[in-house]
Homo-oligomer: A and B are copies of this chain.
Amino acid sequence: MEKTKLAEIITIGDELLIGQVIDTNSAFIAQSLGEHGIEVQSIVSVHDEREQILAALRQATENADLVLLTGGLGPTKDDITKRVLCEFFDTDLVDDNNVRRHIHDLYASRPAILNKLTETQWQVPRNCTVLENSVGSAPIMLWQNAGANNAVVVSMPGVPYEMEIAMRDKVLPYLESIGFSKGRQIIHRNVLVYGVPESTLALRIGQWEDALPPTMHLAYLPKDGIVRLRLSSYGEHTAAEVESEEKALLSLLGDSVIATEDKPIEVLVGEQLRRLNATIATAESCTGGKLAVLLSKHSGSSDFYKGSIIAYSNEVKKNVLNVSSDDLSRYGAVSEAVVAAMARGAQQVLGVDYAVATSGVAGPTGGTPDKPVGTVWIAVATPDEVVTELLHLGRLREKNTDRATLAVLVKLLRILQNK
């Protein structure tokens, strides 16, 4: 097996070092590289300053096979990455006609007009390979054979969505095309687990995990209440061997598994709804629209998602969702009776097959001894019945609404999977 390639990430921008912007790019890059069997050794954030960028470049090209830079490619004068790269690679800037054309195309569909500053965006270092930034004006620039290690150096825009598209569509395919992650046959299998804390999970599958061959590796990737287990095999195993390990893992996990592919929960739900040719709506109080946002997130979701009533006030619960005043005053808005009525109300008013509802005390205020902060009722209305559940969440508002959103979607997914 080939030696693991090592990468270093350099993120550039004063905004990172004054703490105004959190560096989310590095985690995205590290994750993408990991999936291609490339290991990130270190991450460095530096100012938009010539000396610092040069020093970071020198050090990284000595230690790593791959150096990825983000940031400092804007047209304003504080952005200097391109000029510093010219200095590092001993070259000058030349106009690039492809980039010029691309930028003109971009601006043709925008209200903004090209100005003097924007025109500098199609100047690129003479000796680099230019990859198109399909969603922005700063081109992606790539060099090979840099420094003692013959490293590949790639400079990408710092705007996260531009960088993410650049990585996925241009940089990773290019790296593959120059044999960067070649010779390694990597197989990944993903298992999504819900409702089991990471440490409990680790104890439950520890023995199986310890017995894995050294060229198979299990990663725990907890995110927003779901733990994604990624079983990776490097080079030496057949698909059947990996599958057999996955089967063993699945049997240890039982009902905690919600999917065996790495897709967002709302996509899994959408697939089930499409399969059943069914429609859905939401009635939300404490989640305040988070279910609606997820269900409408992906193109084509109007096939199954019809709409939502965000019933933040009791008046809306009564007047729009037809929740009875009696139930509201007898049990309160955060109750099984009300959440069930909300789900049924959305089902009827919005004319759908399935409806989900949430009502809870998100916090930090509004808790009572009876219903402390974190008390959340959720409901799923199906064509046959309404299923409810009481959640006892934590003290943090944002976390509580995220967890309630996830809980109700998992509940719905399990119901749909059994239809």
Q: A-side interface residues toward B, CB under 8 Å? A: 14-24, 26-34, 39-47, 52, 56, 74-78, 109-112, 115-118, 135, 161, 197-200, 202-203, 219-223, 230, 282, 284, 288-293, 295-302, 305-313, 315-316, 319-320, 349-351, 362-366, 374, 392, 394-399
Tell me which residues across on chain B come within 8 A of A33, comparing CB atoms: 19
Q: Are B307 and A307 in contact (CB under 8 A)?
A: no
Q: How far, in angstroms, from A161 to B28 measured CA to CA in the complex? A: 23
Q: How far, in angstroms, from A306 to B78 measured CA to CA in the complex? A: 44
Interchain CB contact (< 8 A) of A23 among B14, B23, B198, B307: B23
Q: How far, in angstroms, from A161 to B395 measured CA to CA in the complex? A: 13
Q: How far, in angstroms, from A230 to B219 measured CA to CA in the complex? A: 41
In the complex, 11 of the A-B residue pairs with CB atoms within 8 angstroms, ordered by the A residue number, are: A17-B30, A19-B33, A19-B40, A21-B223, A41-B46, A289-B291, A302-B312, A302-B313, A307-B313, A309-B310, A310-B310
Tell me which residues across on chain B come within 8 A of A284, comparing CB atoms: 292
Interchain CB contact (< 8 A) of A18 among B161, B219, B365, B374: B219
Interchain CB contact (< 8 A) of A17 among B42, B109, B293: B42
Q: Other CB < 8 Å A-B pairs besides A21-B223, A299-B362, 20 of them?
A: A14-B219, A17-B42, A18-B30, A19-B28, A22-B26, A26-B45, A41-B52, A76-B198, A78-B220, A109-B374, A112-B197, A118-B199, A288-B296, A289-B291, A296-B312, A299-B397, A306-B315, A315-B350, A320-B320, A320-B349
Q: Are B320 and A312 in contact (CB under 8 A)?
A: no
A44-B41 contact given A23-B27, A307-B313, A397-B299, CB 8 Å threshold: no
CB distance from A331 to the nearest CB of B (A): 19
Among A34, A43, A115, residue most surrounded by chain B Cβ atoms (within 10 Å)? A43
Q: Are A396 and B161 in contact (CB under 8 A)?
A: yes
Interchain CB contact (< 8 A) of A19 among B27, B293, B374, B396: B27
Tell me which residues across on chain B come within 8 A of A362, comparing CB atoms: 299
Q: Are B221 and A20 in contact (CB under 8 A)?
A: yes
Q: Are B307 and A320 in contact (CB under 8 A)?
A: yes
Q: How far, in angstroms, from A363 to B301 measured CA to CA in the complex? A: 11
Q: Are B320 and A316 in contact (CB under 8 A)?
A: no
Tell me which residues across on chain B come within 8 A of A56, comparing CB atoms: 42
Q: Are B315 and A320 in contact (CB under 8 A)?
A: no
Q: Which residue of B lies closest to A196 (CB)?
A: B112
A76-B19 contact given A365-B300, A392-B111, CB 8 Å threshold: no
CB distance from A236 to the nearest CB of B (A): 19
Interchain CB contact (< 8 A) of A396 among B135, B302, B392: B135
Interchain CB contact (< 8 A) of A313 among B19, B77, B295, B306: B306
